[in-house]
Amino acid sequence: MPSKADQQLDLLVVGLARSGTTMFTNLLTNPDKRRLCLAEPRLTTRRAYRESKKQYFRHVGAQEPITPESLAAFLFAHDRAGVKEIRSHHVRGAMRRYDPKRIALAVRDARASLVSYYEKHQNRNKTQWRLRKPFPAKLFLRTAPMMLDLLEAEKDRVVVVRYEPFVKEPAYREEIAKAIDWPLDGDLGIFDSMSRKHDSGKHGKKVTTRSLSRATPTDPEVLQVLTPVLERLADFQRAFGYPTQWDPPQDAAPADAAPVASDGRG
């Protein structure tokens, strides 16, 4: 295993759930060119990985046995080493142990993130009815203030990656690649190895604007769940220039738009 001095992350990707963090992570990952960014590897914990995670790690080249220790050794053998985490305690663990050179804050209008995660959560409850769970508001309420703390305390190494221009503008993606010193030439098909075939299929393995806008919820039950969470995310919304309240339903933008192909450079 590499020495502790060699175990410094080139990049730590942090964001709220459904903020484009997995898409960004996949674009960063190009094993053939010795660049690897892992999605939620939990390197500082000792819990065994579930089989779907092992399948993903195998897809990017990891060898058996796959443990946090062996995965760290594999990761730091690359010329560029990064991880993406969305849970606050895993982010803090990565910060303490691996002292990242740069931190990419993946930012998206929390209203869209909440609606997207609610839809995902409901679909999961339908297919796994024996495991029905309430909406995991803590996933947002713990990570958002931590991102604001990083924005303030680590400003010299923070790069803000805004979802909206990222999916719309190739020039913006090029700016981000330069800011983090890491080409965005990875394969979005990695979604397929992460039990994310729905996302990959929806976007055709390209950077698209299909998920850019989401309509304001009209179902009272949905609003009852999400509105208190949105209210507690007001500081996050204001910090990044997003509205703190739902738009009137008639003003909501259409959910789908035409796809925009990746230019191969990110």
What CATH number is associated with residue 192? 3.40.50.300
Residue type, 79: D
How many angstroms separate the CA atoms of 206 and 261, rounded? 5
| Domain membership flag for residue 256 | no
Is residue 192 very low, low, confident or very high in pLDDT (cuts 50, 70, 90)?
A: low
Question: Residue 42 sits in which domain range?
Answer: 4-251
Tell whether the model's pLDDT for residue 261 goes beyond 50: no
How many angstroms separate the CA atoms of 199 and 26, rounded? 13
What is the pLDDT averaged over residues 93-117? 96
> Looking at residue 211, what is its pLDDT?
85
What's the pLDDT tens digit per position in 45-99? 888 999 989 999 998 999 999 999 999 999 999 999 999 999 999 999 999 999 9
Share of the chain above pLDDT 70, in %: 83
Instruction: List the structure tokens of 224.
Output: 């009852």
How many angstroms separate the CA atoms of 189 and 203, rounded? 10
Residues 69 and 60: beta-carbon distance below 8 Å: no
41: Cα separation from own chain's centroid:
12
| Domain membership flag for residue 265 | no
**Cross-strand bridge partners of residue 83:** 12, 38
* Average pLDDT of every residue of the chain: 87
How many angstroms separate the CA atoms of 202 and 188, rounded? 12
Q: Which residue has the higher pLDDT, 42 or 212?
A: 42
**Cross-strand bridge partners of residue 36:** 81
| Domain membership flag for residue 261 | no
Residues 89 and 24: beta-carbon distance below 8 Å: no
> Looking at residue 266, what is its pLDDT?
33
Residues 6+ apart with CB under 8 A from 203: 188, 210, 211, 259
| Domain membership flag for residue 125 | yes
Number of domains composing the chain: 1
Q: Which residue has the higher pLDDT, 182 or 197?
A: 182
Residues 6+ apart with CB under 8 A from 61: 31, 36, 74
- Range in 52-61, 126-135, 173-182, 238-247 the model is least confident about: 126-135
How many angstroms separate the CA atoms of 18 and 47, rounded? 24
Nearest CA-CA partner of 12 in 2, 24, 30: 24
> Looking at residue 260, what is its pLDDT?
41
| Domain membership flag for residue 266 | no
> Looking at residue 203, what is its pLDDT?
52
Cα(first)–Cα(last) distance of the chain, in Å? 32
What is the pLDDT averaged over residues 13-25? 95
| Domain membership flag for residue 257 | no
